[in-house]
Structures are given as structure tokens and as C-alpha cells.
A and B are shown apart, each in its own frame.
Chain A
Amino acid sequence: MEGINLTLEDFEKFADFIYRKTGIRFDQKKFYFLSKRIEKRMQELGITDPIAYLRRLKFGDKNGEELQNLVDLITINETYFFRDFPQLQAFAEYCLPELLKKKIKIGDDNLKIWSAGCSTGEEPYTISIILYEMLEDVNSWSIEILATDIDKEALRKAQEGIYEWRSVKHVPTEYIKKYFKIIKDKYKIKDEVKKLVKFEHLNLMDFLSLRKKRGFDFIFCRNVLIYFDEISRKKVVDHFYIALNKGGYIFLGSSESLARITNAFKIKKLGGHIVYTKE
């Protein structure tokens, strides 16, 4: 919504309120992140004054519904396997078969996928599991799932591949049995899933490194762009555009859109989900 602009003072009032209500602390580094989510809720409620929205949270939200709506948005960074299932369904059931068909036709057996901002590995491993499920013979393809993140500690955990229940709770039971080893109360991803994934430390703001990334059929960059300011976001998306093969797809978070960033991708609606493709 045009016209909504949180001031630093407003931000601090919200951050203080959210901390007291949820224990989640937002320092000034999260200004952009938090303010975007507050603005999204205000937009949905048709409220233009941040203080009016805060007042509503404090005094007009007796059953806590609105606070929950906001909390759902601000905790969206927690990652887990099979997150945003409908989008993965669009990938598995529409985009992947369509692209594989084209590749088979021209005798191309390479499949390159980039999970940009992979955090602790749930997304690239989910993609790997989907490939095992969707491809008749994974071994007949030369597959690389490049999983990159700026956070080295997250990458270490990703390479370890051991998860708590909360990370795997959306994984269908049959996949748990097939692709995880249960060790005490932990879930360890099996080597066959791991072998398709290559982890790499990468800062998406390191544009020289980004220039080396080419030839991907799919790029997943979900709930990452929200951290960037407008110009950086635009540049990162330019790099994704270049890194993607013609006919390839890019997936953003379900609350993210390329609409105001670039006109370069073509929008398609597949299985009820919006996807962006490079023509």
C-alpha cells in the first residue's frame, strides 16, 4: 500500500510489543523485514496509520487473532521440509515434467537446480526427495542441486543433515521411512538424498561470484529477497535471470512477487500456483 511508511520510532514500538507478547526480538537490523510484514497486515486490513494498527493489536484484538496473523508472518523464516507444499506440487507435477520432456527430446541429461538461501538444508533435500519420487531413474540424469547460503553455521548443519521433529513434521510418513534414518529422536537424511546436493557458501550480494552461476533449470529463492533493499533485490534478480536457462523456472516465497522488480520473467499459472519462467 502506498503511503505506509514505518518510522524508526514506530518500529521500536512494534518491536517492543511483539517481544513482550511473543519473546521474539527484532533489533534495528530487522527494520526492513519487520516493517514489510507489518505493512502487509495493514494493507490487508485497510489501515494506513501504523499507530492505529498498533492500537488495534493492543486494545482491539481481544481473542489475539490479529496478533497471530502478524506472528505467522514474522516467523515465516523458520524453514522445514516440504514447506509451501502447493508450490512444490506445482514444481513436481507441472514444471519438472514439462522441462524433463523437453530435455529428453533434445538428448540433454543435465538437470541443475539452485536453492539460493538454503539455510539448514531442508529445501535442497526436499527437492532431492522430489526428484527421487518424480524421476523414473535418478541415476540416468546428471543432477546437481546447488545449495547456497551466507550463514556458515547453517551450512554446517545442512551438511550434517540431522533434524528435529519440527523440521520433518510435514514430510509424508512414507518419505520419512524411505529417506531418513531415525536415530533416537532425530531424523538423519540418507546419503542417497545428500549425494545430489552440493553446498556452497555464497553471499547473494557478492555479485562477482554470482556472475559465475549459470545454466540452472530451476532456481528456488524463497523468503530471501525480503531481506534486501530495492536496488539489491533488483540486482540479485537480474543475476537469477542470467543464471536461469531459457524455459527454466524461478520460485519465490508465496508472499513474494517479481511484479515490481522485473518484467523479464513470464508469469504462468500452474496447478493454481503462480510461477515465473524465462522464455
Chain B
Amino acid sequence: MDSVEELRKKLNHPDEAERIYTVHDIMDNNITELLPDLVEKLITDESIAVKDAIVEALKNMDISSIYERLFELFSSPDAYLRNAAVEIFASSSDKEGAVAFLASKLDHSNKEVRKLILDSLVGLGTPSALMAIRASLYDSSKNVQITAVEYLGKLRDKESLPELIELFKKDPEPMLRVSILHALREIKEGFKIKDIIEMVLPEKKVTEENIIFLPELMKLVADLGEKDDIMYLLEIVKYDPVYAYDLIDFLIKICQRFPELKKLEQIHNIYQYIKDDPTVEEGLKTYLSEGCFNGGN
């Protein structure tokens, strides 16, 4: 095999193929001395094939000695390099080391960088990564907060439920609150559906302020609610053309899960409103009729 010096020279060989082979050799023989060289080539090489080979090599080598240099790529104007850095961190073999490093950077002044840190942490997916993501629920940027909520949902982090629910109660930002409801649907368990309905629709009322949450709430209840929860929501929900399509999905789902609900008066009433609404496509009305009443009502 070539010496480290020879490999370093070959990384700059004019032939693209030679550079790719050199990257393979460095990876296969785990030449960690050349990790800094690989990162520099990742930044400067003009061949996407060489860059891709370097990313793959870095994903499969111990990168702990070059965390700082890799982290600088999060601030690069080049989207390829930013994504590459996320991918490399997320594939790190020393997961705990990578989480500890990334968590220490969560106070970075750039919110885009903080979001990329979360992208890497979700890929690492360890319990300590979850803790770091949870910390971002209180980030100063709404986008970072929403990303943290989405990732906690994706990772089905039950431990974050109290914080997510508390955040919904305290933070009025609608998109954040919608993302929390979505996360609850992904987490699936560890909370009472009825409590969530009451939290979203206090005083059992749909208002101008909370109507925005209704589509996500209906999905949550349709997917996870028991019959009582569904009936509880049906008592509150009135037909409104604004969320007609979400309502159709909701009715079909609950009728599939609990066929006995098809007989409920509330469902028939809503169905009648939808049927009479000229703004709803005829195809959707048929879809609802077939989904809920097997074509008849």
C-alpha cells in the first residue's frame, strides 16, 4: 500500500478515478492521519463523484478528531457541504462523542446551524441525542423549536410528552402548536386523547382562534381515539366548509375503525351538510358515502 505521503499526493491527482481510488484506500485502511485532507478535498474538489466518495469514507471512519472542521461546514454557503456534514455526523460510529460535541454547539448564534445540529442529532437517534433535541424545544427560533418538535415525534419520544403539552399551552404560535399535535399523533401513547381535545378546544368550542388546529386534532382523534373520544369530539365539531375535506377524512377513518358509529346522528348530520355543500366535489361526496355508508345512507 502507498505511504501516507503518497496517498496525500494522490488525493490531488489530476485523474478523477485515481482520487476516488485513493479515497477508498484511505477508508479501507482507516488512515486517520488523512482525515483533515479528506475534509479539505471535500470542500475543494470539483468532482461530485470524488466528493461523494469522501462523504462515504468519512461516514465510515472515526471522525472525532475533525469534529470542529466538519462543524464549520454547517456554516458553508454550499448546500452540498452542509448536507454532507449532517450526513457524516449522523453516521458517526462514536455516537455518544458526536452527540456530546453537537449538544455543546446548540447555543450557536446562527439558527440555521442550530437546525442542522438537530438534523444530525435525529440521525444519531440515541437517548442522549433525544435529550439534546428536547433542549431545543426552548430555542429562541420558532423554526428550530418546530424542528425539535417534529423530530421528537418522529423518534416517538414519550419522555418529552409533558414538555410538548406544556409548550402547547404556553406558546401561542400556531405552526408550533400544529406541529405539537402532529408529534403527539406520531408518539401515539402516553397521553389521554380527551385531555388533548380539551386543551385544543377549551370550553368545548370551535373558535376563530382554535379552528386552525382542528384538522390535526381530527387526525389525532381518528387515528388514536377510542369511541368515547370520537363521540366527544363529534359533539363539538360543527360542519364548516373551511375544513370540509379534513372532516371527510375524519369521518371515513372513524367509520372504518368503529363501523357501529355509522349510525350516529351527528355523523349523518355532518354528512348531510357535506352533501348539500356545492363547493365540495361530487367525487369526494361519493368517496365519503362509500367510505361511511357503503354507498348509501
Contacts of A190 in B (CB 8 A): none
Would you call A36 an interface residue if the criterion is a C-beta within 8 Å of the partner chain's C-beta atoms? no
Would you call A263 an interface residue if the criterion is a C-beta within 8 Å of the partner chain's C-beta atoms? yes
Min CB gap B122→A, angstroms = 10
Would you call B100 an interface residue if the criterion is a C-beta within 8 Å of the partner chain's C-beta atoms? no
Contacts of A3 in B (CB 8 A): 154
Q: Could you name 11 residue pairs across A and B whose Cβ atoms are closer than 8 Å?
A: A211-B21, A234-B52, A234-B53, A235-B24, A235-B56, A238-B20, A238-B53, A242-B17, A263-B51, A263-B80, A264-B49
Report whether A262 and B24 are in contact in the complex, using a CB–CB cutoff of 8 Å.
no
Q: Which residue of B lies closest to A279 (CB)?
A: B48
Q: Which residue of A lies closest to B156 (CB)?
A: A3
Task: Give the size of the chain A interface in residues (CB under 8 angstroms).
Answer: 13
B104-123 at interface with A (beta carbon < 8 Å) = none
Report whether B17 and A262 are in contact in the complex, using a CB–CB cutoff of 8 Å.
no
Q: Which residue of A lies closest to B18 (CB)?
A: A242
A223-238 at interface with B (beta carbon < 8 Å) = 231, 234-235, 238
Given contacts A262-B52, A264-B49, A264-B52, contact A238 B24 (CB under 8 A): yes
B280-296 at interface with A (beta carbon < 8 Å) = none
Contacts of B17 in A (CB 8 A): 214, 242
Q: Which residue of A lies closest to B21 (CB)?
A: A211
Would you call A19 an interface residue if the criterion is a C-beta within 8 Å of the partner chain's C-beta atoms? no
Would you call A114 an interface residue if the criterion is a C-beta within 8 Å of the partner chain's C-beta atoms? no
Report whether B52 and A207 are in contact in the complex, using a CB–CB cutoff of 8 Å.
no
Would you call B60 an interface residue if the criterion is a C-beta within 8 Å of the partner chain's C-beta atoms? yes
Given contacts A238-B49, A264-B48, contact A231 B24 (CB under 8 A): no
Report whether A207 and B48 are in contact in the complex, using a CB–CB cutoff of 8 Å.
no
A243-272 at interface with B (beta carbon < 8 Å) = 262-264
A242 CA to B24 CA in the complex, in Å?
Answer: 13
Min CB gap B24→A, angstroms = 6
Known: A234-B56, A262-B49, A263-B52. 16 other contacts (CB 8 A): A3-B154, A207-B24, A235-B56, A238-B20, A238-B24, A238-B49, A238-B52, A241-B20, A241-B49, A242-B16, A242-B17, A242-B20, A242-B21, A263-B48, A263-B51, A264-B48
A238 CA to B48 CA in the complex, in Å?
Answer: 11
A225 CA to B243 CA in the complex, in Å?
Answer: 46
A241 CA to B48 CA in the complex, in Å?
Answer: 11
